[in-house]
Amino acid sequence: PSASPEVNLAILGRRGAGKSALTVKFLTKRFISEYDPNLEDTYSSEETVDHQPILLRVMDTADLDTPRNCERYLNWAHAFLVVYSVDSRQSFESSCSYLELLALHAKETQRSYPTVLLGNKLDMAQSRQVTKAEGAALAGRFGCLFFEVSACLDFEHVQHVFHEAVREARR
Ligand SMILES: Nc1nc2c(ncn2[C@@H]2O[C@H](COP(=O)(O)OP(=O)(O)OP(=O)(O)O)[C@@H](O)[C@H]2O)c(=O)[nH]1
């Protein structure tokens, strides 16, 4: 058993946005795989964020195109990473429906749902369908943090996003 505080992070977004690629990138260095067939894939990683140890659990969710059976992660997660792909307008629209879902639940439960909006596949910027300003505006509307990264480029930017999600959960 770990004495570290724990943060559960759910990764949400349309199929193909890059949820699995981001999760794998983040976990590449130190990782313990934990497979729960009832819960999709969840992974644990011992992290240090702002000099404090933390056990971060990541659920790489597998909704199809829109939010479904959301209770499984709404009740489990302390923070949410909503992912879209900058080269897919459809994925951006799906990310909006995830943000709406989280906002609705926050209102209903009077609980906060710390969320980071993430535009992935920045390396595909030549076929961009969603501008950085649009991403920032959507995040602003829902009061969440916003980043653009690429799961296939450097680890540090991806790690930074996951750590920011931990910070959001701690706030
Ligand atoms: N160019 C590029 N391709 C990426 C990036 N991230 C993911 N991909 C590719 O996009 C496709 C979908 O990535 P996944 O990680 O499987 O996406 P997902 O959101 O987990 O999708 P599901 O597993 O279907 O729910 C794969 O072919 C990845 O290799 C990225 O940052 N840049």
**How does pLDDT run across 14-62, given as a tens digit for each residue?**
988 999 889 988 987 544 444 444 556 888 999 999 999 999 999 988 7
CATH label of the domain that carries residue 21: 3.40.50.300
| 28: three-class secondary structure by DSSP | coil
Q: Is 1 within the bounds of a domain?
A: no
Q: Is 24 within the bounds of a domain?
A: yes
Nearest residue by C-alpha to atom 14 in ligand 1 = 18
Best residue for ligand 1 mutational test, from 19, 63, 126, 129 (most atoms within 8 Å of Cβ):
19
Both ends of the chain: CA-CA distance in Å? Answer: 25
15 lines ligand 1 (CB under 6 A): yes
**Weakly modelled stretches of the chain, pLDDT under 50:** 1, 30-37
Nearest residue by C-alpha to atom 9 in ligand 1 = 18
DSSP 8-state class, residue 74: H
Nearest residue by C-alpha to atom 6 in ligand 1 = 18
Work out which ligand 1 atom sits closest to the CA atom of 17.
19
Of 144, 149, 46, 166, give the one whose Cα is nearest residue 100: 144
Q: Is 90 within the bounds of a domain?
A: yes
This prediction's pTM: 0.91
46 lines ligand 1 (CB under 6 A): no
Give distance in angstroms: CA of 17 to centre of ligand 1: 5
pLDDT of res. 154: 81
Total domains present in the chain: 1
18 lines ligand 1 (CB under 6 A): yes
| Residue ranges with strand state E in the chain | 6-13, 32-35, 41-49, 52-60, 79-85, 115-120, 145-148
The CA distance from 136 to 146, in Å, is 6
Q: With b meaning 16 or more CB within 10 Å and e meaning fewer, what string describes 141-164?
A: ebebbbbbbbbeeeeeebbebbbb
Q: Is 78 within the bounds of a domain?
A: yes
Q: Is 84 within the bounds of a domain?
A: yes
pLDDT of res. 31: 42
Q: Is 113 within the bounds of a domain?
A: yes
Domain that includes residue 116, residue range: 6-169
